[in-house]
Amino acid sequence: MENTVKKLYSAVQPTNNLTIGNYLGAIKQWVQLQDEYDCTFAIANMHAITVRQDPANLRRKTLELLALYIACGVDPQKCTLYLQSHVPCHAELAWVLNTFTYVGEMERMTQFKDKSAKHADNINMGLMDYPVLMAADILLYQADVVPVGLDQRQHLEITRDIAVRFNNIYSPTFTVPEGLYMKVGAKIADLSDPSKKMSKSAENPNGSIFLTDDRDTILRKFRRAVTDSGNEVKFDAENKPGVSNLLSIYSVFSDKTTAEAERDFEGKGYGDFKQAVGEVVADRLAPIQAEQARLLADKDYLNAVLKSGAEKAYSAARKTLSKVYKKIGFYQL
């Protein structure tokens, strides 16, 4: 039955601090998915350098992210967990796939256009090529499914197009991956403006709860969260977006349904409600933060995880790359 287990691939960039939206939308789901799929998870530091990074910060964030994943329950025994730059096949396959991707397609990518506007002084080739590197990541591991946020949908579609294009020109080489779009995290809104998604790069940091926020900060941000007119704690996304967002956060962090969450606050005011939401979130994050700190102090362990992850990833990736090189006519020894 071994070979009926589907392959899953995903990656996250070791850049900004992650929010509880990222936790619910990605990391927490990965922990569940690792029992169902043959999972490979990467820390995408090669994608990260498409915008300018401070080297010391990039290095530090890499280990912090690795420790965070493990602290959240991503188990290096169950899945392959590695750093993208440790496996040279990504850059190699990306180069080949570049010759199967049109400049016009890349110019039309929404994220490229957004980031070009944001980093107008550094519209580098890597920024434009970002989706091709992402396609290389996914196709190297013959992934069947790719869990990502909705913002990555266009990149996944182009990955599928590139895979089909290559398979049609040569013969079936790449698995054509399906996107698995994460919904829960995508629904968490900014605390100070519930019409916006909670973002790790929001202008107002009070609207986002970061996984690194300490208890006091979390309680303070929830206390300041925007509620709505009226005084009833009721789920009504249309008319009470602020309260509804807080109720959703409360229910996922306390493993309760929305109805149960509403019942907890019957007859209570917004003040008590916001305090309670802050407390469940802080209570849930505290052990994760403690475990992350413990792991960060054990660099030998983290290095060992990265080393064995890179070995496992390399052997899978190399197999695909060799096939590709053979098909396109690269003379092999």
Q: Which residues bind ligand TRP (CB under 6 A)?
A: 9-13, 44, 47, 134, 137-138, 146, 148, 152
Residue (of 42, 47, 55, 59) closest to 126 by Cα position:
47
Minimum CB separation of residue 91 from ligand TRP in Å reads 13
In the complex, the smallest distance separating the C-beta of residue 130 from ligand TRP, rounded to whole angstroms, is: 7
Q: Is the dihedral of CA 23, 204, 107, 43 positive or negative?
A: negative
Rank residues 11 and 211 by Cβ distance to ligand TRP and give the closer one: 11
Q: Whose CA is closest to 100, among 15, 176, 168?
A: 168
Min CB(10)–ligand TRP separation in Å: 5
From 28, 61, 197, 274, the catalytic residue: 197
Active site residue 115: yes
CB atoms within 10 A of CB 226: 17
Asked whether the beta carbons of 140 and 320 are under 8 A apart, the reply is yes
**Which residue in this structure is represented by tokens 């962090």?**
253
Q: Hey, what amino acid is at 248?
A: S
| Token duo for residue 68 | 């965070």
- Between helix 270-296 and helix 241-254 the angle, nearest 10°, is 50
| Nearer to ligand TRP among residue 141 and residue 222 (C-beta) | 141
Sequence-ordered list of residues with C-beta below 8 angstroms from that of 169, at least 6 positions apart, any chain: 100
Q: Is residue 15 within 8 Å of 49, Cβ to Cβ?
A: no
Is 200 catalytic? The answer is: yes
- Residue closer to ligand TRP by CB (options 11, 198) is 11
Nearer to ligand TRP, 37 or 273 (CB): 37
Do residues 133 and 94 touch, judged by C-beta distance below 8 A? Answer: yes
Which is nearer to ligand TRP, 89 or 280 (by Cβ)? 89
Which position among 115, 187, 221, 240 bears the catalytic label? Answer: 115
Active site residue 7: no
CB of 119 to ligand TRP, least distance (A): 15
d(CA 184, CA 207): 18
CB 20 within 8 A of CB 249: yes
Shortest Å, Cβ 112 to ligand TRP = 12
Catalytic residues: 115, 197, 200
